[in-house]
Amino acid sequence: MKKAVAHLLPYIEEEKLRSGDAAKNAGKILLATVKGDVHDIGKNIVGVVLACNNYEVIDMGVMIPADKILKEAKEREVDMIGLSGLITPSLDEMVHVANEMKRQNFEVPLLIGGATTSKAHTAVKIAPQYDLPVVHVLDASRSVPVAGNLLTKDKLVRTEFFENLKEEYSKIRIQFEQKKAHKKMISIAEARENKVKIDWNTTNIVKPTFTGKKILEDYPIADLIPFIDWTPFFSTWELAGKYPTILEDKVVGVEAKKLYNDARTMLDKIVAENWLQAKGVFGFWKANSDGDDIKLKNEDGKEFKTLHSLRQQGKKAAKVPNLALADFIAPKTSNIEDYIGAFAVTAGIGIEEHVERFEKDHDDYNSIMIKALADRLAEAFAEKLHKMVRTEYWGYAKEENINNEGLIREKYRGIRPAAGYPACPDHSEKETIFNLLKGEEIGITLTESFAMLPTAAVSGLYFANEKSKYFGLGKVEKDQMEDYAKRKGKPIEECEKWLRPNLNY
């Protein structure tokens, strides 16, 4: 465990790990990834750091409902609860847990963490639901001082911390409301009038080499390693810096080198001993846009699936369009046949037995390492497959000649946006993608919140249009949400649930 901390936090003074306030004020902390969410690397790192600072950590695991979290917290008489989540639906679940803590008269602080969480969301949405401290923890290095201030026996320190927190979060809420009031928005009708203008008569639309889907079974892990983007790997371990320059960094360079060497050693074992399997499924279909929807068609031209996109509603500068993904597919009115692709890949088949083996040996370091590497390999698979799509399977960029740095910087034609990310923040669109691909055939399933299992998995869509680009949806108004719910055939409340962070009302 301490080996893991050595790599995680080389910039924290050793005496803080050995003694300090945390050691004097150690308590019992329950950690859980909330209902519907399966990601736990960040939570595991926080648990390791807290445990090395003399806190008793109770890790409940992933996909834990609120009632189980609170029941365990009561039975174990914990001093603090920590919630983790990666996907946006987890934000609502955290609000629910905080609400339940208030209803059940809990008197322990609540920590909030995870990739999609933020100080702003915690201050605006979660903290008002609970009367005791609710603290957003940016990373594992912050968990120790936060826990120390919240659990210290020094009442004056504890009170001062809470009062400062309340004042800071109050300012954040005021700033949020002011920003919301001043943000210039336009109606969905106006936004559609300002869509991307594409001359479809002069657009080069390339027909894929096949339509329908194709499965890649047991894809060689060794072929994915050259496509790994190592910078996020170091971020996972909370080492700030870009690869490869991070290896020479004056602060974290020594530990970064050790971490990288250990990662390469484990990758060699993964390949040599077949620890993990990589599988993928992808395909292409005829498609046309219909407003902000994308209609997929069979070979006989009959529509059989609909993908729903959302449009930016923030007021733009002159000649800057309000984008929607549907803009990049030829409209039905053009009478031009266009295409769209979809994919799902994983590099996490077989990971469970190795994680269990490491955890049984209390080897937190290698347990976190294999999860982090599986995530990187899945992303590498997505990168590798996209390249093969562009140059071979779809073939709209056969002459492409881009090195790995260029791939990381997305210096290629076409995009592969994922449901749940900025251009398409609605995670529920994954359901359509998985129905299309039959992701379960390669061992990928969806949770009730549309998180993917295994966690080392990536899915998304392929757009080939030369004008297609990544963008952030931003905030949307109720007129678009009413229209969106009608198009999806869902209650507006359900659509709002999946898009809560994007709502401007």
Indicate whether 32 pLDDT > 80. Answer: yes
213 and 134 within one domain: no
Find the catalytic residue in 7, 40, 79, 90: 90
Which helix (H) or strand (E) element contains residue 20? Answer: helix 20-24
**Residue type at position 222:** A
**Cα 74 from Cα 158, distance rounded (Å):** 22
Confidence class of residue 13 from pLDDT cuts 50, 70 and 90? very low
Find the catalytic residue in 7, 21, 39, 121: 39
In-domain check, residue 195: no
Which tokens sit at 39? 């990601």
Give Cα separations from 490 to 284, 422, 428, 504 (angstroms). Answer: 27, 22, 11, 20
215 and 129 within one domain: no
Q: Are 224 and 347 in contact (CB under 8 A)?
A: yes
**Cα 302 from Cα 288, distance rounded (Å):** 11
Q: Are 26 and 55 in contact (CB under 8 A)?
A: yes
- Residue 235 annotated among the catalytic residues of the structure: no
**Cα 144 from Cα 155, distance rounded (Å):** 18
Return the CATH number at 347: 3.10.196.10
**Residue type at position 496:** E
DSSP 115-153: TT--HHHIIIIIGGG-SS-EEE--SHHHHHHHHHHHH-S
What pLDDT sits at residue 11? Answer: 42
> Which alpha helices (H) appear in 337-473, and where do they start and end?
351-360, 364-388, 404-408, 429-437
Q: Are 324 and 293 in contact (CB under 8 A)?
A: no
What pLDDT sits at residue 22? Answer: 43
**Residue 271 structural domain:** 202-219+260-474
What pLDDT sits at residue 18? Answer: 42
Name the residue with tokens 């590497």.
Answer: 373
Q: What is the pLDDT of residues 253-307, one digit of tens each?
A: 999 999 999 999 999 999 999 999 999 999 999 999 999 999 999 988 899 999 9
- Strands 212-219 and 80-84: what pairing? unpaired
Q: What is the pLDDT of residues 339-373, one digit of tens each?
A: 999 999 999 999 999 999 999 999 999 999 999 99
Confidence class of residue 8 from pLDDT cuts 50, 70 and 90? low
**Candidate from 19-23, 152-156, 411-415 with smallest mean pLDDT:** 19-23
143 and 91 within one domain: yes
DSSP label at 423? T
In-domain check, residue 443: yes
E strand map for 5-152: 28-33, 56-59, 80-84, 110-113, 134-136
- Residue 90 annotated among the catalytic residues of the structure: yes
User: Residue 37 phi/psi, 5° resolution?
Assistant: -110, 140
Torsion angle in degrees (nearest 10) through CA of 400, 282, 287, 193: -70
Q: Burial code of 461-479, b = ≥16 C-beta within 10 A, e = fewer? A: bbbbbeebeebebbbbbeb
Confidence class of residue 337 from pLDDT cuts 50, 70 and 90? very high
Find the catalytic residue in 7, 21, 37, 59: 37
According to DSSP, the residues that pair with 476 across neighbouring strands are: 503
214 and 133 within one domain: no
Indicate whether 405 pLDDT > 90. Answer: no
In-domain check, residue 86: yes
What pLDDT sits at residue 181? Answer: 80
Report pTM.
0.92
**Cα 127 from Cα 261, distance rounded (Å):** 42
Indicate whether 9 pLDDT > 70. Answer: no
Q: What percent of the chain has pLDDT over 90?
A: 89
Return the CATH number at 143: 3.40.50.280
407 and 274 within one domain: yes
What pLDDT sits at residue 179? Answer: 86
**Cα 385 from Cα 30, distance rounded (Å):** 40
Confidence class of residue 6 from pLDDT cuts 50, 70 and 90? low
Cβ neighbour number for residue 398 with a 10 Å cutoff? 10
**Cα 340 from Cα 461, distance rounded (Å):** 7
Burial of 374 (0-12, 13-18, 19+ CB in 10 A): buried
301 and 157 within one domain: no
Q: Are 101 and 110 in contact (CB under 8 A)?
A: yes
Q: How many domains does the chain have?
A: 2
Indicate whether 15 pLDDT > 50. Answer: no
Q: What is the mean pLDDT of the chain?
A: 93
Name the residue with tokens 């559609």.
Answer: 192
More confident residue, 180 or 433: 433
- Which three-class secondary structure state does DSSP give residue 5? helix
Confidence class of residue 375 from pLDDT cuts 50, 70 and 90? very high
Confidence class of residue 10 from pLDDT cuts 50, 70 and 90? very low
What pLDDT sits at residue 404? Answer: 85
In-domain check, residue 308: yes
Give Cα separations from 314 to 181, 201, 281, 309, 475 (angstroms). Answer: 13, 29, 36, 16, 7
- Residue 84 annotated among the catalytic residues of the structure: no
468 and 375 within one domain: yes
Q: What is the pLDDT of residues 62-100, one digit of tens each?
A: 999 999 999 999 999 999 999 999 999 999 999 999 999
**Cα 226 from Cα 22, distance rounded (Å):** 42
108 and 54 within one domain: yes
213 and 156 within one domain: no
In-domain check, residue 175: yes
210 and 175 within one domain: no
In-domain check, residue 243: no
What pLDDT sits at residue 267? Answer: 98
DSSP label at 503? B
> Which residues fall within 8 angstroms of residue 340, CB to CB, at 6 or more apart?
284, 285, 287, 294, 296, 307, 329, 461, 462, 463
In-domain check, residue 187: no
333 and 368 within one domain: yes
158 and 206 within one domain: no
Indicate whether 16 pLDDT > 80. Answer: no
Q: Are 231 and 407 in contact (CB under 8 A)?
A: no
Which tokens sit at 167? 């004042």
Q: What percent of the chain has pLDDT over 70?
A: 95
In-domain check, residue 251: no
**Cα 276 from Cα 271, distance rounded (Å):** 8
Indicate whether 400 pLDDT > 80. Answer: yes
